[in-house]
Structure formats: C-alpha cells, structure tokens
Amino acid sequence: MKLLAISLAALGLASAAAVTKRANYDNYKVYRVDVGEDSSKLSSIISKLQLSTWKGKPETSSVVDVVVPPASILDFEAGVNGLSTKVLHENLGASIAEEETFGVYASVDAAAAPNATWFNSYHSIADHFQWLKDLAAAYPSNAEIFVAGKSLEGRDIQGIHIWGSGGKGSQKGVVWHGTVHAREWITTMTVEYAAYQLLTSTNADDKAFKDKYDFYIIPIVNPDGFAYTQSSDRLWRKNRQTVSTSTCLGRDINRNWPNHWDQRGGASTSPCAEDYKGLAAGDAVENKVLKAHLDGIAAGKGVQLYMDIHSYSQLWMYPYGYTCTGTVPNSATYASLSRGAIAAVKAVHGTTFTQGPICSTIYQVSGSSVDYAAENAMATYSMTVELRDTGNYGFVLPANQILPSGEETWAGLAYLLKNM
C-alpha cells in the first residue's frame, strides 16, 4: 500500500472529498463560556441569536462551547458580558481548512497490508471504505468485510469482522461503532486504529484477543452524514433523513434506538435540533440496520462488549444514559473496569479521562445505543467513550492528534479486553 500525505488542492485533483459549495465558517468564532449562577443569561443570548453549541447546555452544564458567526460576534460578546469566556477558535474556517488537508490513499498491492502512515491525516469516505477492504484482504485467515445494510442514500454500512484460531463466529462478540455523529472525524480514525492493532500487533496480549472474541467493527455507521461533512458542511451531526413535519433534515442516530426513546429530557422533539430523536423509536434507516446487526450477534454467541465511540470531552462512560438515578447492575465492576481503562489511557500520552455513568458524567441521553445494548441486546458490558480533546479544538481536531488518540484509546480498549 502507498500513502502520500499531500493536499488534494495541491495536486489539483477532484475527488469525493473535494470541497465544493460548502458551508462557510470563515471568521466564525467558537467560545467557551462559564455559565455561572445565572444560566438564563447564556440561554437567552443563544436563543436570541439562534446559535449552535458544540458542548453543554446552559441549563445543565457548567461550561458551554458556542459557535458564533461574524455578524453576531459583537452582540454575543455584549450578551455574555460579565461571564467568563475563552476563544477556542479565532477563525473556525481556517481551522477546518487546515484539518482538511486529506491524505491521498492508493491501493497498489493487494497482497500488502496498509501501514501506519494512514493515521497521519484524515481521508475521504471512499478511501476509508477501500482502506478497510485492503486491511481485511491482507489477513484473509482472520478478517473479512461485512455490510450490515444500506444507509438512506444507499451507501454501505461497512464493517470488518475479525476472529482468531477458533474460526469466525466461534466466540462471543465485541462490537465497536464509530462516526455515529458525522462531524466526529477522530472517531473514524480511532476505531480503524483498533482494527489495525488487532490484525497487525505483534504484542502477545493483542494477538490473543482474536482467539478470545469475535470483533465486529464499523468505523462509519453514519456514512451519509459523514459524506455530507466532506461535501457540504463540516459540522453536520445527524443522518440525512427527511422529516414529514418539518423542512429540517436528519435524526440523531444516538437518540433513536428503541430503548427509553420517549424519555423526557434525554433528546429533543424538534426536528431542527441536533439531538432530534425522530418521529418514532428506531425510525432512522441506519438505526434499523445497526439494531438488526447487533441483535443478530446477541442471538448467536452473545455480546461481551459493545462500545460507541464519540468525541469530544475525554470521558469513559457506562449506563445509564436515560436516567441519573437508576444504577446499572454490576455497577461496581463497570466502575473498576473504567478506572483501569482510563489509567491505561493516561499511561500512553498523559491524557486524562473521567469515568462514570453517562447521565451524571455528561448529560441525560435517551434512545441511546449503549442503553439498548445493555438492556435489550444483553451485552455483558456496554460503554461509550468521548475522545480528545476537552475543547481546545473540539470537533476540528488537528491531524497530528490522530495517531496519539488511536494509541491511547487502544490501550484503554486492550485493558477492557484483558480484564473484563
């Protein structure tokens, strides 16, 4: 395999990742605002100026990251006067442009395995699909590509199945999902890094994991949304499904699972909201596919571990999301495993994660995959991770952090696989 980390623009090439008629974020700013004792102040200015937030809610969070267009900057700064603020992105458009210096991936030898230079840059969705196929083709005795189903727009929801000496399907399943939210590009790369390590690592423990579990890894579960972030709007989050009651598009795939879907406070009923839960439980096209695939594994050998990989905030969490008062069975074991995982993460690059139940650690989430996996698919363990960083870059994480994120997250995952 050959990978050249050079800009598409420098080559003058057209591709699926070429930027045309995209949402323009030039001179937008991203602010971190300490909410203070009067949450209504920040809530009011966000509502008045119709601003989007990356992280937190004024009503429930101590800090909120807010995206502000150039025309609203003066009004916003006046509106939050008296609150502590910090500028995270001085020019969001420039940050995005730097991040989108895509690597060019060329499959030149079908017998050779992809190498680690893949993790030096972000890539087009077409290259992601090809890279995963090349990885599986290089290890035919231990891996194959599967397609769980089709997205709304007809794209494959493609994954890689990895197994060991017992043969495929002989062990309990480990299921990892990435890119549920389209703009979380670092999750795609980090999930791919985990698959890469399972097949290429010479470490004895890493090699042994394949003999212990069957792995079903889907780096991009929201391919339509991901493609849209590369063609039209880098900060798109949801899928691309229409809503009969609105002109707004998309459902939040992680608010649409048929588990406490109608729980108040854990998702939005507004089709224009980024955490819109949909018109009915499980009515997102992608959710139907993902549910059927997970249910199939559960009905076979069972699910030992389900993990949904997100960004950002550096959190390692477990059920429940839908309630802050309920306690998951074997919560002490969950807490112990999570503490061990975040210690393993920190040992790699010094990155500090926080662990705990979803609802009390980040916010209430209803209709989530993690709760569904725990309560419906009966996974022995079900977790979610929020990767780098804590907000300095947020969703627009520089490419030089891809490999460190992969390395440290793999250390945490490996801890789980060895100790759960």
Q: Could you list the active site residues?
A: 386
Distance separating alpha carbons of residues 324 and 13, to the nearest angstrom = 50
DSSP bridge pairs for 243: none
CB-count exposure of residue 71 (10 Å: 0-12, 13-18, 19+): exposed
**Contact yes or no for 250/294 (Cβ under 8 A):** no
Q: 17 pairs with which residues across the strands?
A: none
Task: With CA atoms as reference, report the closest residue to 126 among 267, 21, 261, 223.
Answer: 223
Q: What tokens appear for 184 in the block?
A: 């979380």
Edge to edge, the sheet with strand 143-150 lists: 143-150, 156-162, 214-218, 173-177, 303-311, 381-387, 315-318, 354-357
Taking the alpha carbons of 35, 38, 40, 44 in that order, is the dihedral positive or negative?
A: negative
Sign of CA dihedral 318, 229, 402, 150: positive
230, two tokens: 């590369």
Taking the CA atoms of residue 392, residue 277, residue 356 and residue 34 in that order, the dihedral angle to the nearest 10 degrees is: 40
- Cα separations in angstroms, 151 against 21, 220, 330: 23, 11, 35
Helical H segments across 72-149, by residue range: 73-79, 92-99, 125-138
Coil, strand, or helix at residue 261? Answer: coil
Distance, in Å, from the CA atom of 263 to the CA atom of 326, rounded to the nearest integer, reads 13
Gap between the Cα atoms of 199 and 144, Å rounded: 11
Phi, psi of 331 (to 5 degrees): -65, -30
Mention every residue, 6+ apart, whose C-beta is less than 8 A from residue 265: 364, 366
Quick one: how far is CA 337 from the chain centroid? 21
HSE (side-chain half, CA atoms, 13 Å) at 262: 3
Sheet holding 85-89, edge to edge: 52-55, 63-68, 29-34, 85-89
Distance of CA 34 to the CA centre of its chain: 25
